[in-house]
Amino acid sequence: MSSMRFRVLPTTYEQAKQGQQQRDWSKLLLIAAFTLPGMVIFFLFVLMPIVQSAYFSLYRWDGFGPLTNFVGLANYDRLLNHSIFQGSLSHSFIIMGLSLAIQLPMALALALMVGRGKLHGKRFFRAILFIPYIFSEVITAIIWRYVMHPVDGLANMVLGTFIPGFEPIGWLADTNVVLYSIFIVLTWKYFGFHMILYMAGIQSIPMDLEDASRVDGATELQVLRFITLPLLGNTIRLTVFLSVLGSFQQFVLVWVLTQGGPVNASELIATYLYKYGIQRFALGYGSAVAVVLFCITLIFSVGYQRIIMRQDYASERT
């Protein structure tokens, strides 16, 4: 009996091992079936264009015919020494700085008022402030072109009503004002999006913690500083990440409003790429601009996620 038992056990073990291997292969095939289409699309429409842009940037090429005029890094040298590109880079940083210093704090403050404050009609305010984000960027730009019209625009009419002797402002025609006018439009467009993100984060914070701190004698400012904001940290870091990337990638709204003018005063990196690369049939030069923009966003994305958002990933694993 013992010998028969030892003859059966290996067979049973081998069958179980084979069955486990078949299940593992089935899981791998299922994972491949779901991920392969996405990987193919990612390779064709993300990785390949990046590699091709880096290759095209080494040539002086108009987009037609074969690549024959190899110039090496000449496009990058011309790019980095071009004053208009330097201006577009500084404008993108200005938009980014204004977004971080004004837009996000305002969205956070209003989210705290609507989410935690005793404000009547919360749903109404939430809907009204989120509606601009639903509009497409083209529609938003067209609306604000009428609002900021120097003669018949709503902005000058309202200011002229409340300010005696008010001189109309050329919101989109004054080189000293146009960049801030674009920031106003961007804030109107994306303010509600950041506010909704903050409200979602606030709702995930247990009110018991805030109430307990108030019972212990903490003021509202201390509750906000030591309880609410630290627990809202991952949402704040996410909105900062999205805001910075959006500042560098903004194109449609600025192009419809000003096309980078007047006198390149509102030129951003993306509008510069379109104007000096695609419109002028300088695809090699435009590819160099695209590579620089990609490097800026990639370095920021990787560095920000590795340094700033690392603790969020660690908390999710635990």
pLDDT score for 225 = 85
- 């989120």: which residue's tokens? 130
DSSP 3-state of 70: strand
Which carries the bigger pLDDT value, residue 34 or residue 57? 57
Q: How many CB atoms lie within 10 A of CB 7?
A: 9
- 């120097």: which residue's tokens? 150
Quickly state the pLDDT bin for 65 (edges 50, 70, 90). confident
- Name the architecture of domain 74-317: Orthogonal Bundle (1.10)
Round the CA-based radius of gyration of the chain to a whole number and report it.
28
pLDDT score for 107 = 92
Domain ranges of the chain: 1-41, 74-317
Contacts of 59 (CB under 8 A, 6+ apart): 67, 68, 69, 70, 71, 284
Whether the predicted pLDDT of 9 surpasses 60: no
Question: Apex CA 223: angle with CA 221 and CA 227, to 5°?
Answer: 135
Which carries the bigger pLDDT value, residue 105 or residue 63? 105
> Which of 11-20, 58-67, 76-85, 191-200 is predicted least confidently?
11-20
pLDDT score for 8 = 47
Contacts of 22 (CB under 8 A, 6+ apart): none
Tell me the C-alpha distance between 288 and 15, whole Å. 59
Tokens read off for 41: 């699309």
Whether the predicted pLDDT of 84 surpasses 80: yes
Whether the predicted pLDDT of 275 surpasses 90: yes
Residues 235, 198 contacting (CB under 8 angstroms):
yes
Tokens read off for 249: 């990638």
Quickly state the pLDDT bin for 313 (edges 50, 70, 90). low
Please state, for a pLDDT cut of 90, what percent of the chain lies above it. 49
What value does the mean pLDDT of the chain take?
A: 86
Instruction: Indicate the helix (H) or strand (E) that contains 26.
Output: helix 2-42
Output the furthest CA–CA distance in the chain (Å, rounded).
111
Mean pLDDT throughout 91-117? 89
pTM: 0.84
- What residue type is assigned to position 102 of the chain? I
Give 226-271 pLDDT, tens digit per residue. Answer: 888 888 988 999 999 999 999 998 999 999 999 998 999 999 999 9
Partnered with residue 59 across adjacent β-strands are 70
pLDDT score for 271 = 94
Count of all residues that appear for the chain in the document: 318
pLDDT score for 4 = 47
